[in-house]
Structure 1
């Protein structure tokens, strides 16, 4: 269950990152997913970190995401896919929430 939760968090972050770049072709999406899966399964921390949108990010939160992203890296991913965000997903991701370091943040 812990592994599923971690992969869900990472998949959500990856999905948000990909969804924010409109117009990706199916081939580009497949290449993106394959690259992520390879980086995760080979425990390539630098490649995994490259998937995180870092511009303007709170360093403490970014550090947390890096830790969560690589915590179980090296394990086999049996299934990973990109899915369209629902209106509710977008609403939740863009809603300001309390930051662990103080203030408000959005995904």
Structure 2
């Protein structure tokens, strides 16, 4: 099993959710996060003073999936999230040792 974490622009969330749903990928966790990278933030003025905001709002999508679905999910997310501009986000893939469905006690891939 693998865990896919995608950190994306907030405006792309609905498109990605819809695309994943169309491919029968329904189990995901969404978090609102803040982050910085090459996008470097933006400057705003607060009471006449310039303030640099380098932490920008992002959305993190977490998906646990079978090993053979990883590339398909990555490609779906990339297709919907890519604008070609700095700040499109990142995708990370981790190994998952085990999963347990609390309701039934199922373990491993049957729990996801």
Fold-level similarity (TM above 0.5): no
**Which structure is larger by alpha-carbon Rg, 1 or 2?**
2
* Greater per-residue strand proportion: 2
* Greater per-residue helix proportion: 1
Q: Tell me which of the two structures has the higher relative contact order, counting C-alpha pairs closer than 8 angstroms and 6 or more residues apart.
A: 2
